[in-house]
Chains A and B, each alone.
Chain A
Amino acid sequence: MTSEGARAFEERLTQLQETVQRLEAEHLTLEEAIAAYERTVELANECSQMLDEAELRITTIDAQSRSLREESSVYRFSSASAAALLLGEDEDDLADLLDDE
C-alpha cells in the first residue's frame, strides 16, 4: 500500500457521495440509475477492501541527516468491515426486483 492510500480512499468516498447525490437529484434513465447504483456498490467494496488490506506504513526520519528509513509494519486493520454484509443483501434485493419485471 502506497502513501496515496488515504487519498485514494478519500477519492472513492467522495465519488460515492457524488454518485448518490446524482442519483437523488437527477432524472436518470433506468440504465443510468442501475449503472450508478452498481458503481456505488463497487466503490463501497473497494473502500472496504482497501481498509481490510491496508498495512500501516511507518518511516523514521533522522532529524540531523534528514534521511528516511522505512520500517516494516506489523499492524493490520482489525475491525471487520461492517459494510460487506449490508452490500451483499442490497445487491440481491435489486436483482430480485429487476427479475420480477
Chain B
Amino acid sequence: MRVLSVPEITGYIRELVEYDPILSDVWVRGEVSNFSHSAAGHMYFCLTDDGVQVNCVLFRGNQRGLLAVPRNGDAVLAHGRISIYEARGQYQLMVDNVAPEGIGILQLQLEETKRRLEAEGLFAEERKRPLPVMPSVIGVVTSSQGAVWHDIQTVIARRFPLVELILAPAAVQGPTAAEELVTGIEALQELGRCDVIIVGRGGGSAEDLAAFSDERVARAIFACTVPVVSAVGHETDICIADLVADVRAATPSAAAEMCVPNGTDLLATAGHLVTLARTSAVDAFRDHRAELDNVRHRIDRHHPRARIANARLDLDRLTSTTRSTVDNMLSDHRKTVATLTDRSRLLDPRDVLRRGYAIVTASDGSTPRRIVSASDARTEAALTLTFSDGSVQTRTTTDQE
C-alpha cells in the first residue's frame, strides 16, 4: 500500500497514458456534440456513444486537411492521442484528424500517412526538381515482367534511343513490394549513373497499388538524389508516391515521354538551325560582295582611264574651237575676195564696150594708136572702131566742126 500526493498520482497516470501505444495513436468512433469554436480558433467537442463521452480538442494548427469537419450530430472517427489535463484531473483526446464514420481502414491509414508526410514537407512544391532535358541514363524501378517495362523501352527507343536504360526489377504488388521498390530506388541511386528514375506500375485496385502509398517508398523517393517520376497507371486515386515524386505521370509510357526529348523534333530543330546558318552565310556573302562593289566603284573613279577620257574631252573641245576660228577667218577672206572681184569687174573695158562705147584706133602704122580726141581723128584717113564683138574699118570723109 502506497500513499501518493495528488500531483504524484496524476503524474503517474499521465505517464501510463502517454506511453501507451494504443492511447497515443488511436481512432475513436462517436457522435459529435457540444461543438464550439474558441476565439483562438481551436475546436472543442465531445464524442458520445451510448451515453458515454470523451472530451476532444482540435487545435487550430491541426485543422488543415481534415477528412471531415466535425459538426454536432455527425457520426465521425477522430484520430489523436489521449492526454491528461492535470489541473482538472481530466483526460481528453487531442485530435489531429477527423474522418466520416463510413471510411475504410486502408484509406484511413493512407490519409493519415499522407497528412503526416505532408506536414513534414515531403510533398512541398518548392522541393520538386526539374527533369533533365537530355538524360544519358534513365533508371526504372518496376516489374521486369509485363507491359510497363516493355512500354517504357518502346517509347524511349522511338523518341531518343541514345540513352541507356537501367532496370531495377521489383515486385510492384504483394507483401514484399514496398521493400523491393525501396531497394530498387536505393540500388539505382548508389550506382550513381542515373540522371532520372522512373518508379511505376500499371493500374490496379487500391490493394494492388498499396505499395506505392507505403511510407517507406515515399521516404525513399524523397531521399533520392536524382529526380523521380512516378508512373502509376490509374485514373482517380492518387497514391503517395505521386505526391512525393518530382513529377507525376499518368502512365509509364507518359513517364518515358517526359524523360527524353523527341529525337525527330531535335533533328527538325537542327535542320532549322542549319537554315539560319545558311541565311547568315549568304548574308555575309552579300555583304562582302557589296563592299567589293563599293571599293571597285571607288577605284574606277580614280583610274587613269578616267583622266585620259577627261583629257580627250578637253582636247576635243580645243580642237573644235580652233577649227571654228580658222573657218571664220577663211570665210572672211572669201568675202573680201568676192568683193574685190566684183569691184574689178567694173573696171573691165569690155563692160564699157557692151554698154555702147567703142575704142577708136588709128591703124596706118604697124602699131595701133589710141585716138582719144577729134583733132587727132581729123588727121587720120582711116580709123578702126573696136566694139565688144569685133572691129570695123572706117574712112574719114568730112570734117564737121
* Residue positions of A touching B, CB distance < 8 A: 1, 3-10, 13, 16-17, 19-20, 23-24, 27-30, 33-34, 36-37, 40-41, 43-44, 47-48, 50-51, 54-64, 66, 68, 73, 75-79, 81-83, 86-87, 90, 93-94, 97-98, 101
Closest A residue by C-beta to B182? A63
Q: Is the CB of B164 within 8 A of A57?
A: yes
Which one, B158, B186, B190, contacts A79 given CB within 8 A?
B158
Kindly state the separation between the CA atoms of A52 and B188 in the bound complex, as whole angstroms.
Answer: 28
Instruction: Given A20-B273, A40-B273, decide whether A6 and B162 contact each other with a Cβ distance below 8 A.
Output: yes
Whether A83 contacts B271 by the Cβ 8 Å rule is yes
Q: Given contacts A6-B136, A20-B280, A23-B280, are A44 and B161 in contact (CB under 8 A)? A: no
Number of interface residues of B (CB under 8 A): 52
Contacts of B278 in A (CB 8 A): 37, 40, 90, 93-94
Distance in angstroms between the alpha carbons of A33 and B276 in the assembled complex? 12
Residue from A51, A61, A63 within 8 A of B162 (CB atoms): A51
CB-based nearest B residue for A41: B274
Contact B188 A61, beta carbon cutoff 8 Å: yes
Pick the contact of A63: B154, B161, B180, B273 (CB < 8 A): B180
Q: Which residue of A lies closest to B260 (CB)?
A: A6
Stretch at the interface among B93-101, B284-292, B317-325: B284-292
Contact of A101 with B289 in the complex, beta carbons under 8 Å: yes
Binding site secondary structure of chain B: helix
* Pair B157/A24 contact, Cβ less than 8 Å: no
Minimal beta-carbon separation of A27 from chain B (angstroms): 8
Stretch at the interface among B78-86, B167-175, B206-214: B167-175
Q: Which of A16, A23, A60 contacts B167 (CB 8 A)?
A: A60
Q: How far is the CA of A73 from the CA of B277 in the complex (A)?
A: 37
Cα–Cα, bound, A36→B157 (Å): 32
A87 touches B288 (CB 8 A): no
When the two chains form their complex, are residues B277 and A87 in contact, meaning their CB atoms are under 8 A apart? no
**Known: A20-B280, A94-B278, A94-B282. Contact between A3 and B164, CB under 8 A?**
yes
- The yes or no answer to B187 lying at the interface (CB within 8 A) is yes
Residue of A with least CB distance to B281:
A37
Known: A30-B285, A66-B190. A75 touches B154 (CB 8 A): yes
Q: A23-B277, A79-B158, A97-B282 are in contact. Are A47 and B164 (CB under 8 A)?
A: no
Residues of chain B touching chain A, judged by Cβ–Cβ distance below 8 Å, are 133-137, 144, 153-154, 156-158, 160-170, 180, 183-184, 186-188, 190-191, 193, 263-264, 266-271, 273-278, 280-282, 284-285, 288-289
Chain B residues positioned under 8 Å from A9 (CB to CB) = 134, 162, 266
CA distance A41 to B271 in the complex (A): 8
Set of chain B residues within 8 Å of A57, measured between Cβ atoms: 163-165
B154–A36 contact, CB under 8 A?
A: no
Give every chain A residue within 8 A of B191 (Cβ-Cβ).
61, 66, 68
Q: Which residues of B contact A62 (CB under 8 A)?
A: 169, 187
Determine if A44 and B134 form an interchain contact, defined as CB atoms under 8 angstroms apart: no
A10 to B270 alpha-carbon distance, docked (Å): 11
Name the contact of A48 in the complex, choosing from B135, B270, B282 (C-beta under 8 A): B270
Known: A82-B268, A94-B281. A54 touches B274 (CB 8 A): no
In this complex, which of B164, B183, B274 has the most chain A Cβ atoms within 10 angstroms of its Cβ?
A: B274
Q: How far is the CA of A96 from the CA of B289 in the complex (A)?
A: 15
14 A-B Cβ contacts within 8 A? Answer: A24-B276, A27-B284, A36-B277, A43-B270, A57-B164, A57-B165, A61-B166, A76-B157, A77-B161, A82-B267, A83-B274, A87-B271, A94-B278, A97-B282
